[in-house]
A and B are shown apart, each in its own frame.
Chain A
Amino acid sequence: MGGAAGEKPQLIRWEERDGEKVAVRHDGRLPWQLRPIRMEVGVLANADGSALVEYGATRVIAAVYGPREAVPRHIALPDRAVLRCRYHMAPFSTAERKTPAPTRREVELSKVIREALEAVVLSELYPRTTIDIYMEVLQSDGGTRTAAITAASLALADAGVAMRDLVAGVAVGKVDGVLVLDIDEIEDNFAEADMPVAMAPGLGRVLLLQLNGVLSRDEFVRGLELARKGIEEIYRLQKEALRRKYVVKEAGGGGR
């Protein structure tokens, strides 16, 4: 959680809809709704694979270089590829300028993202190589690590790296006692809990799981289920984004 900055705004409004009380969030979303999500594959010409992912105002670009010769040589492993992962925030991506030097937070997130990707990349097919995965947060509005992992897995697919499944991520939060999907920065700042989750949805595997904050056992189980549903929607959007780039459109009429 980002730490409380300033006065706490009203983040949840209770409204009557069709005779039922529903929690409405500060941006008008219902608890189980994602922000508008946009994905584009193959956005950088130099990279072997790349993707741009937006969760609302959060915008992350990911690029993959490799599999390529391991430099320096001594980092190479004889039986598999080495994954090198960097999650990084642009200095202008946040309200206050963020130092471009890697922070402890970025070191930790680079690690948990790499470990999540290790579980899907078929690294044993590329011995003695490295696969470099770079993620840059261009604009931060909460959920950057999960948007980054979603982008990274699209970039890996775009690079043609063999994978068991795509990886999609989303953060669930507890805001004013309500479990909400895909929390943004304001919600995160005042949340009682923030739980980023990433899964290989086709395999039903949990690859990244963190909890910052406090939940009861039952809230955790409900939060995880909320995340899973969001992840399935993001997974569908990922496959669509890949199809947009790779599926050749049926030739219309002319038959060329």
Chain B
Amino acid sequence: MSLTPSSQPVMPKLKRYTMETLLRRGVRLDGRRLGDVRSIEIVPGYVERAEGSALVRLGETVVLAGVKTDIVAPFPDTPNEGVLVVHAEFVPLASPTFEPGPPDENAIELARVIDRSLREIRAVALDKLVLEPGKHVWRLYVDIYVLNHDGNLFDASALAAMAALLSARIPAAVRTEDGGYRVDRSRYTMLVPVNHRVVTVTQAKISDRLLVDPTYEEEQVADTRLVVAVSEDGRIAGMQKTGAGYLGYEEVVKAVDTALRVAPVYFEALRRYVDPFREKLARQLEEQPRAPAEAEPAAVAAQRRVEEEPVEEPVVEQLEEMEEGERG
């Protein structure tokens, strides 16, 4: 059940008045203009134990995203695709308004909006994450961890998720005796294959003005927000109006145009901070002193393993015979 939130912190009336007065002149409390994004910093590979990770600072907002993998059966309706799961945690250390416990509606909404924005445009090439069609595929978990909430969690989280995926590697899959696979994290086979890059651009509406990348204070005053997911080739990859309040019909179109105009700022940050890291990972994968088969994409390697399987089977049979012999 969804309730009108009651824990809205009180904003001093004077501050609200100052904010609105400034906005009439097109200036914001922190000196930005309406279409300006705060400073962005991305640290790819922040958590070495994860298959991929990225720490994003968007002004004072800090979000960490990590990618983990395992091997599962695919969904019956998509036997030739890996599985992507996006999850968000608003951990209590990030804000006085966050409580411990399972994700609330805000965290669930955020995760689902980012999930859709990545999924619908096929940002991750899930068809390349298949070990054995219908049986064994890679599952990618993207876990979003909000560490400091100073507004615009959507854009910071989308950026962190995208950056974490771009800096993620798929570990080796080792065939097990029961015909399954286990993950060998001591070595990697390929980068997470990415078809499209997607970011979100969030705008808050305050007294008939739309502000890009709102701070926490601005979000408290805002009537509503519109999140627009944009792909690098300039398409709209998803959208969500969030927060009570409304947008005028014309306002929606204006907001979408602004989002398309602002998105390159985020893509530039990905190129600047994440691309060198991704290139480094690619070089490491190439230089890996391994047998050629292991440098192949997992899907190809898996195919080879399937083909090689008959050779291994007699060994298993022999073992079974031996065991039976011992028992007898």
Interface on A for B, CB 8 Å cutoff? 1, 3-6, 75, 77, 80-86, 104-105, 107-108, 110-115, 118-119, 123, 193, 195, 199-200, 203-217, 220-221, 224, 228
One of B108, B111, B256 near A217 (C-beta < 8 A)? B256
One of A4, A115, A205, A214 near B235 (C-beta < 8 A)? A214
Total A-B pairs in contact (CB under 8 Å)?
135
Interface-facing stretch out of B15-23, B35-43, B246-254, B285-293: B246-254
Chain A positions within 8 Å of B4 at CB level: 77, 80-84, 114, 118, 123
B interface residues, how many (CB within 8 angstroms)? 43
22 chain-A/chain-B pairs, Cβ below 8 angstroms: A77-B4, A77-B6, A82-B3, A83-B4, A84-B2, A110-B2, A111-B109, A112-B240, A112-B241, A114-B3, A115-B224, A204-B249, A207-B241, A211-B238, A213-B120, A214-B236, A215-B235, A217-B234, A217-B256, A220-B236, A220-B256, A221-B253
Q: How far is the CA of A236 from the CA of B261 in the complex (A)?
A: 37
Asked if B6 and A209 make an inter-chain contact with CB atoms under 8 angstroms apart, the answer reads no
Chain A positions within 8 Å of B224 at CB level: 115, 119
Q: How far is the CB of A168 from chain B (nearest CB, A)?
A: 14
One of A5, A86, A108, A209 near B226 (C-beta < 8 A)? A209
Known: A104-B108, A209-B226, A213-B238. 20 other contacts (CB 8 A): A83-B3, A83-B4, A85-B2, A86-B2, A104-B112, A108-B108, A114-B2, A114-B3, A114-B4, A114-B244, A199-B249, A203-B246, A208-B241, A209-B240, A209-B241, A209-B252, A212-B120, A214-B120, A217-B236, A220-B253
Known: A3-B77, A204-B249, A216-B235. A111 touches B6 (CB 8 A): no
Q: How far is the CA of A151 from the CA of B116 in the complex (A)?
A: 26
- 4 residue pairs, one from A and one from B, having the closest CB atoms: A118-B244, A211-B239, A205-B246, A110-B2
One of B236, B243, B244, B249 near A215 (C-beta < 8 A)? B236
